[in-house]
Structure formats: C-alpha cells, structure tokens
Amino acid sequence: MANLKELKGRINSVKSTQKITKAKQMVAAAKLRKAQAAAEAARPYAGELAKVMASLAGKVTVSESSPKLLAGTGKDQVHLLVVANSDKGLAGAFNSNIVRAALAKAAELNAAGKTVLFYLVGRKGRAPIRRAWPQAQAGDYDTTTVREAGFAEAEKIADEIVAMYEAGKFDIAHLFYSKFKSALVQEPTVQQIIPVPAPANAVVDASGAAVDYEPDEEEILAALLPRYLKTQLFGALLENMASEQGASMTAMDNATRNAGDLINKLTIQYNRSRQAAITTELIEIIAGAEAL
C-alpha cells in the first residue's frame, strides 16, 4: 500500500486537475452560448441566399456555357477534401471524428481509382491527415491567428479554393465539418461544395409575377455562386465552432466527474492507511506496556 504522503500528493494533484477541467467546462458553456447566437444571426442571410439561388437555378438550364462552378469541369478524377477542424483540443472526440470521416472518404475515393487532395482548415486535423496522406496536401488555412473564425476567414478560404478550382487543380470538392445538433450530439458531416449543388426545395413563386432581372439571370447566377460558396463555408465554420464548444463542455463535464470519483476513492484509501497506521502504533504501545 502506498504511504500516506504519496497518497496525499496524488489527491492534491487530482484536485488541481479537476479545477482545470471545471474551469474549461464553464468557459466552453459560455462560449457555446455565443457560438449559438452567431449561428443564429447568420441564418437569415443563408436562408435568403438559398432562396434566391433556388429560384435562379430553376430558371437557368445547366449547359456547357454555364459557369464552371455550377456545371463542373466535366470530370470527376481529382477530389479535394476540405477538412475543417478546431485549433484547440480538450474537446473529446470532436476533432478525431471529423478526421476519421475524412480519411474514410479518402480511402473510399482512392479505392475507386480517384486522386485525393486535402485542404485543411484549423490546426488539430493537420498532424493525423499529414501522417496518413503525406503526398496529398493541397494547402491549409491557419485559423490560430484569429480568436474566432468569421466571414473574413470564410471569404479567404473560398477565394483560395476557387482559385485552385479555376487553375484546374481539382474537379470536385467536399467539405467536412461537424454539424451542431445539441451540446451532447455533434455529427461529422460531408457536403459537396464544388460544383455547387443546386439548392433543393426550389420554392415556386406562387404569385407567378414576372421578376425583372438586372443584369440577366445567368450573370446574376455567376455573381452569386462564389458568394453562395462563401456562405456555405461560413456556415460550416460556425457550426464547427458551436460543435467544438459543445463537445468540449461534455468532455470536460465527464473529466470533472471522473476526477471527483478518483478523489473519493483515494480519500478512502488514505483514511484506511491512516487508520491502519494508528492501529499498529496502538498495538505496539499496548504490547510494550504489557511487557513491563
């Protein structure tokens, strides 16, 4: 059995760990509220844009002359996987779940004879993906310099991806991020972003009124496509942020509880050892007194 001093040391060390996990849990809870508010604030724009895109896509027929972002390159050989991770750990399996989804997709594409490239956003996904696919790095975007990824970051990422697309570096792009369902559930999600999938649920204008387009439909569509891509990336970043905080909160709650259990166990052990030491001492004294 460990001696009393060692046990005391261990109890203290677990206690300070518990303080850290508890603090991180509370920070995550506060940040989660903020991230959710940000996601909420972004909804009107995304909703409006999707509505406009849907009504436009319904009017324009996809042909050879359509913008490449919509029509595609006509091939599906090279796939770009855009993987959005966070910069910080202490969030349970949040990052590894996204990485796992991306690697599974990469293996599947590779088995089908396609070429896979990675574009990494955030710090935490870099190491495992670089290790698994050292030859397939198309680039990454560092979000560690900003406190919170915002629309400016989404814009830069989208510009870089579109530039690569226009240079013919890839044919199809998929985006990996974690969808925020609740503080307990985050779902790794994959979504095709290039060529831009036509928004489903195209709402047909019931009024049937003729809408004036200025300039014409095709030009508007071409102008809106990159914006739509940015909005999707921005949405993914926001979802990711909320998911990260949610995952972090749950993981830290578990860690705090585990630390509490461990402290209880160690305290019992400590008390038992102390009791045993006292009993031994008493026996020695009594035995000594009897011998006289």
Cα three-residue angle 71-177-183, rounded to 5 degrees: 140
Q: Are strands 78-84 and 172-180 parallel, antiparallel or unpaired?
A: parallel
Q: Is 58 in the site for other proteins (CB under 8 A)?
A: no
Least distance to other proteins from the beta carbon of 34, Å?
A: 13
| 287/114 Cα distance (integer angstroms) | 84
Contacting residue, 18, 85, 231, 250, with other proteins by CB under 8 A: 231
Site for other proteins (CB under 8 A): which residue of 223, 276, 285, 286? Answer: 223
Taking the alpha carbons of 189, 176, 42, 220 in that order, is the dihedral positive or negative? negative
- Smallest gap from Cβ 216 to other proteins, in A, equals 10
Per CB under 8 A, the list member of 2, 26, 30, 48 interacting with other proteins is 48
Closer residue to other proteins, CB minimum distance, 23 or 41? 41
Calpha distance 65→42 (Å, rounded): 32
Site for other proteins in 136-165 (CB under 8 A): 150-151, 154-155
Contact flag: residue 46 with other proteins (CB under 8 A): yes
Let me know: does 7 contact 268? Beta carbons within 8 Å.
no
In the bound state with other proteins, the residue whose beta carbon lies nearer, of 43 and 265, is 43
> Measured from the CB of residue 24, what is the shortest distance to other proteins in angstroms?
27
**Residues 183-222: x where in contact with other proteins by CB under 8 A, - otherwise, as a string:** ----------------------x-x-xxxxxxx---xx--
In the chain, the N- to C-terminal Cα span, in Å, equals 33
Q: CA-to-CA distance for 176 and 188, rounded, in angstroms?
A: 7
Q: Within 73-190, where are the H helices?
A: 94-111, 126-132, 151-166
Chain positions contacting other proteins, by CB under 8 A: 38, 41-42, 44-46, 48-49, 52, 56, 150-151, 154-155, 205, 207, 209-215, 219-220, 223-224, 227, 230-231, 234
